């Protein structure tokens, strides 16, 4: 009896204690690890010995696996307005609890975390709903596992997603694109989603953002919601709204300033004399220059089938204003040229333009000029009448022989009778009357031309000021809108 007891005690002394196996976290039926093996290898072999990656890692199937996710925007790679596609580069982080990957650090050389291949463990099927193409993302094959079962999966992702881009405010536009993370298969009872960090920390986190490109990151909003499709099971989804704003300096210098300069030159062109043909050629040159400018910048403007940016409408309106300016110039030049072939200015035109419009436009110098020229024409006409009358009296009282000596008219023969002298005087009077009528007709044509020139001048000032008011109102409106959009 004593011998049997001694043999049993010897066997118990040779066998390893059961508590050591339990504390090591080994699964039932697993081989005992060799103590001479490095701790990392022993821990890896122990965890993956009987692990099944195809089963959700919970001991009770009623337990929901909660996946906490986080997004950090690293760069905005491209914004394709035509195809409505946004390409971003993000740092994606997620963690969950795996109940089958737990151990006691005291039995594994105080190891609290270990990296294992992601392909050997269970990974949730979290996808982005807006995916439209597979980006060139680097492959990160490992995940971190902590001793209490927390699995951390950290990886950078190049995300190519669909986004509804509104380019109406270009180049002062702000875009809001969403990244929706959800489990493609598991409902909310199997996999639930939560936010890794507080929403305030996620919103204004620009610690890793490359801030030297065309787009500026304003903030990232996060929102959790449940959704269901046709009364089926509910699914959990986490939305991240990436709000970005375009930097407009490049487009302001290369698009807006040249257009503004050409419009200013068009306004300055109104100060050329209206009776000068140089204004028409100047306006045509500006119109051709603006057409070439639009051809050059057409590739810079974003193109979509949905709408047109406001800056495109601005260019079209500027082109229309240049055409209107050229049309007005042609009309004024046609009005002030070839005045001799035109009738007198109608009285209602004189009343509206030379009286009312001059008072409205404060063109007092033109009115005085008109009065002075009219008075000078009356004085010259009066002096011509007096000169012609004096000459007629002189010729009527003068002896024919003295007129012959003076050489004022054709020489008369010495034997001319008084009747022939009377006929000669009547002939001279007829010629003088004809000359007088010609001069009066010429003065009348000059007065008509002067009146039409004054009408053209007043009408040119009136149309110029109306054009200037339209351009200023249009410019102020667009400038106000763009300023509001820029600083909103």
* pLDDT on residue 305: 64
Q: What is the pLDDT of residues 131-140, one digit of tens each?
A: 888 878 888 9
Q: In sequence order, what E strands does 105-250 have?
A: 113-117, 126-128, 131-134, 142-146, 150-162, 174-183, 191-195, 215-228, 234-246
**Whole-angstrom Cα distance, residue 250 to residue 260?**
15
* pLDDT on residue 171: 87
Q: What is the pLDDT of residues 98-131, one digit of tens each?
A: 999 999 999 898 999 999 999 999 999 999 999 8
* pLDDT on residue 355: 64
The residue count for the chain: 488
* pLDDT on residue 399: 46
Q: Confirm if 46 and 55 have CB atoms less than 8 A apart.
A: no
Contacts of 273 (CB under 8 A, 6+ apart): 279
Roughly what angle, to the nearest 10 degrees, separates helices 257-268 and 418-487? 160
DSSP state, residue 337? S
Closest CA to 453 of 273, 190, 233: 273
Given a cut of 70, the residues of the chain with pLDDT beneath it are 1-35, 231, 305, 338-346, 348-418, 444-445, 447-448, 486-488
CA dihedral 112→118→123→128, nearest 10 degrees, is 120
In the chain, the domains with their CATH numbers are: 39-246 (2.70.170.10), 248-363+435-487 (no CATH)
**Whole-angstrom Cα distance, residue 71 to residue 112?**
25
* pLDDT on residue 31: 46
* pLDDT on residue 10: 56
**Whole-angstrom Cα distance, residue 89 to residue 156?**
7
Q: How far is CA 245 from CA 68, 70, 88, 222, 305, in A?
A: 28, 22, 14, 18, 22
């Amino acid at each position: 009896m004593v011998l049997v007891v001694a043999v049993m005690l010897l066997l118990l002394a040779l066998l390893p204690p059961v508590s050591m196996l339990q504390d090591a976290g080994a699964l039932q039926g697993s081989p005992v690890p060799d103590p001479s093996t490095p701790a990392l290898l022993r821990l890896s072999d122990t965890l993956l010995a009987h692990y099944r990656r195809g089963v959700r890692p919970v001991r009770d199937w009623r337990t929901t696996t909660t996946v906490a996710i986080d997004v950090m925007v690293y760069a905005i790679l491209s914004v394709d307005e035509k195809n409505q596609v946004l390409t971003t580069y993000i740092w994606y982080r997620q963690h969950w609890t795996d109940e089958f990957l737990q151990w006691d650090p005291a039995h594994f050389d105080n190891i609290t975390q270990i990296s294992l291949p992601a392909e050997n463990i269970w990974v949730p099927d979290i996808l982005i709903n807006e995916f439209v193409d597979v980006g060139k993302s680097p492959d990160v094959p490992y995940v971190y596992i902590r001793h209490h079962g927390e699995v951390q999966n950290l990886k950078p992702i190049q995300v190519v997603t669909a986004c509804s881009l509104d380019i109406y405010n270009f180049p002062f536009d702000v875009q809001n694109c969403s990244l929706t993370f959800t489990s493609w298969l598991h409902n909310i009872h199997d996999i639930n989603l939560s936010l890794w960090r507080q929403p305030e920390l996620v919103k204004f986190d620009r610690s890793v953002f490359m801030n030297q490109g065309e787009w500026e990151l304003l903030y990232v909003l996060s929102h959790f919601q449940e959704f269901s499709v046709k009364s089926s099971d509910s699914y959990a989804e986490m939305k991240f709204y990436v709000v970005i704003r375009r930097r407009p300096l490049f487009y302001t210098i290369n698009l807006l300033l040249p257009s503004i300069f050409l419009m200013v030159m068009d306004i300055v062109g109104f100060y050329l004399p209206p009776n000068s043909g140089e204004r028409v050629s100047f306006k045509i040159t500006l119109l051709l220059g603006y057409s070439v400018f639009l051809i050059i910048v057409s590739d810079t403007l974003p193109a979509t089938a949905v709408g047109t940016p406001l800056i495109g409408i601005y260019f079209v309106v500027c082109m229309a204003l240049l055409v209107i300016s050229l049309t007005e110039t042609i009309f004024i030049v046609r009005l002030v040229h070839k005045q001799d072939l035109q009738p007198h200015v109608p009285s209602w035109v004189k009343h509206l333009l030379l009286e009312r419009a001059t008072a409205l436009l404060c063109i007092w110098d033109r009115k005085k000029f008109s009065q002075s020229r009219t008075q000078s024409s009356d004085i010259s006409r009066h002096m011509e009448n007096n000169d012609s009358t004096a000459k007629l009296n002189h010729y009527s009282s003068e002896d024919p022989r003295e007129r012959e000596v003076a050489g004022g008219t054709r020489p008369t023969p010495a034997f001319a009778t008084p009747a022939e002298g009377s006929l000669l005087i009547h002939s001279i009077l007829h010629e003088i009357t004809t000359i007088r009528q010609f001069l009066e007709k010429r003065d009348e044509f000059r007065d008509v031309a002067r009146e039409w020139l004054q009408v053209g001048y007043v009408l040119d000032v009136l149309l110029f000021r109306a054009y200037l008011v339209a351009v200023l109102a249009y410019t102020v409106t667009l400038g106000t809108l763009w300023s509001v959009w820029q600083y909103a």
